[in-house]
Structure 1
Amino acid sequence: MTKTYDLEERTALFAKNVRLFVKLLPRSISNTEDIKQLVRSSGSVGANYIEANDSLSKKDFLMRIKICRKEAKESRYWLKLLDVGENHVIAKERDKLFQESTELMNIFGAIVRKTEK
């Protein structure tokens, strides 16, 4: 049986899990920069979803949801670039976060399509 999630809670959990994950990564110049970008984009998914729920119009709602989708997609990009070294546990965690960002991207894409109809 699949667990149902409140999307606001799910996006907050995604951002929190990203923050826990980046603490495990090996430190390098590139990882440091990519981590900053990943932390920003993962948090922005949920922040923009909250904004969408408080939007003043359908147009504003749609724009915010599109930003959610864009930030989820960007999070996938930064996850892909991170160097996890030879650690398979960290690589597996990255894969889980990559999957979650993909699912969030798809959810927001579906909301966009339904709203635009």
Structure 2
Amino acid sequence: MPTKKYDLEDRIVEFAANTALFYQDLPKDAIGNYYGNQLLRSGGSAALNFGEVQGTNSDKDYINKASLSLKELKESRVNLKILKKLDFGNGIRRNNLLDEAEQLIKIIATIIKNKKENP
């Protein structure tokens, strides 16, 4: 039975899409707009920067682009924690996004660490 190849880019794209869907359900008040817009940007930027990782020509470029993606994922994580404290958005979807952000951060941080240690 063939199995689907694990693809980190697909997971990050899925995360970006899910943050956009989560954003749509946030209240359209000042707080919801502020944190929602920030989450929309950081979640999308994490995916777009990771897309650029695929086209790098050197380990230095790879680490730089992957670090940008990591930074955006960390921003998304903090944003989701704030939204959790505020009890904004769908709790199950928010918790799933927070869990996925944590996993993606660990994966990308490990990749960066390994690239630095084994150029």
User: TM range, normalised to the smaller chain?
Assistant: 0.7 to 0.9
TM-score scaled by length of structure 2: 0.86
Q: Is the Cα–Cα contact under 8 Å of residues 76 and 98 in structure 1 kept in the other structure?
A: yes
Gaps of 5+ in 2: none
What displacement does 1:4 show?
5.7
Task: Note the aligned Cα RMSD (angstroms).
Answer: 1.6
Q: C-alpha distance in 2, partners of 1:74/1:27?
A: 21
Residue 69 (structure 2) aligns with: 68
Q: Once the two structures are aligned, what percentage of the paired residues are identical?
A: 35
Gaps of 5+ in 1: none
**For each residue in 1:88-116, what CA deviation from the matched residue of structure 2 results, as whole angstroms up to 9, or x when unmatched?**
xx112111100101111001100011101
Moved over 6 A (4+): none
Q: C-alpha distance in 1, partners of 2:41/2:51?
A: 16
Q: C-alpha distance in 2, partners of 1:79/1:103?
A: 14
**For each residue in 1:55-75, what CA deviation from the matched residue of structure 2 results, as whole angstroms up to 9, or x when unmatched?**
132111101111111111100
Q: C-alpha distance in 1, partners of 2:45/2:27?
A: 24
Residue 104 (structure 1) aligns with: 104
What displacement does 1:25 show?
1.8
> Aligned pairs, how many?
112
What displacement does 1:9 show?
1.0
Residue 43 (structure 1) aligns with: 44
